[in-house]
Structure 1
């Protein structure tokens, strides 16, 4: 396992080499467990696709999750790669960010690369029937809410009858603040990832209540709240409708449920979230249709190649017939006995 050190975090890389790849009979296959950031992980692949004509690959929170608290979760930023063994520049790498928990213990891509491209020997992804995968993880340890609760309980009341942290509005028992990029102070509410800041400034200018409702709360609470809002905004900003498969919808649902606990007025955002989530079925059908069209195109190409071969074979037959006629060959019965002159 390789380590890469940056100024603010450590990246650890695990490489998984699979021999006799074409002979795999199992529908899905796990790598061995590898430990990064004090937690065991493993790579999960579907060599023949997870109900698609694509290679499917995921990062899985390995180990026995039943030994962890029910509310265990951790946000991870990671990369999954399919190594090109002929030309390293053609290696396929995709980046992800996901909050792993008991309900969503794996995350990745159902359609990483088409099976036609993967198994084409000229592409360099399978060499000598060997395939190589890599997982690279930037670890961020989750912060426990008992540290937050001490601050929340002692903060001023939002109203005359209900303080922040009242049991009727419990906070998540565990949360993590994204720190995968540079952190900057956001309006004195806490350190927020730089990527989120312009998105937060835009919506706060349109909806001032987002700022007003957080003024009397602790810095730790507001840092967590605006980070949760930033995650949702960043998700919506960086995803296209075609990306909203079942995994993406589940991720958005999880981020939205976390954001709903932050005591923001989200009436302006909720309709858009609901609309996006409701389109999952139509998006899945569109993706399935796209896959089917690609399969049809591939079959059409194979048919064209076969037709060309058939035409070429017919031409060869005609040429051979003409050559036979020119040479004056007579057709003989080859089954006739040779004999020896005696009847």
Structure 2
């Protein structure tokens, strides 16, 4: 890879995620943990219930949450394990994954999550006497043994600032966030009583969408890659559940630019077809008008001719009146 930035390796970090109200999980609808940072990358866990039948299971994945903002060609190698904790006996916890750094998963912008779609059977997980689920709660741990980033430049202390005492934000995003917060005060109101980690994640996600829109022209959104990148940034932002009614129309309009050239060409062709059809219709109308006029003239001539004409039986003898 050209102009590759030096590799940066971080070793060993563990994060626990307590999933509450597990019974409210909707089948095949993912639930996300809070974002945490390891190796200059943002991570989160994803969990979802599999198909609703006797063989259904829980799927658990580790996702690079900020992969859509990585420079082109950047990647992260990570060795990790995922554990569903047994709350009655730690020894009975279920762990998948390996600690060896030579067995790593490669995270990229187009492949940003790795994990286990059938981590364990729901019948085992939800059995109250097994100890994995207590009071409708289960605990999932992820341990990253090695995280090696390549092509991702870490933020330095001077690159982040404390944004309105809500969290550390990339300073390049702050002017955009300042502007929208002045116009939409609800953005700050909804951050009350939220954790610092949550607000940092929320404003960073919002700032990335705003920065993307600021840096793009309408014609660039015709590109499939740009459209997919915005789609991913927008989906990440939507999950935070801010009031985005003021921003959504612009984003949807930008996403609708995908295939703009093809749509424009189709409209152009339809307009040309309409001109041809209207021309043919006008010719037919003119011919019809001429035919109608001819019919009227012929009808009048027929009436005049009938007035001077007495119909007779030509086979009858001509007789005159005798005295």
- Shorter-chain TM-score tier: 0.3 to 0.5
The TM-score with structure 2 as length reference comes to 0.39
Whose RCO is larger (CA < 8 A, sep 6+)?
A: 2
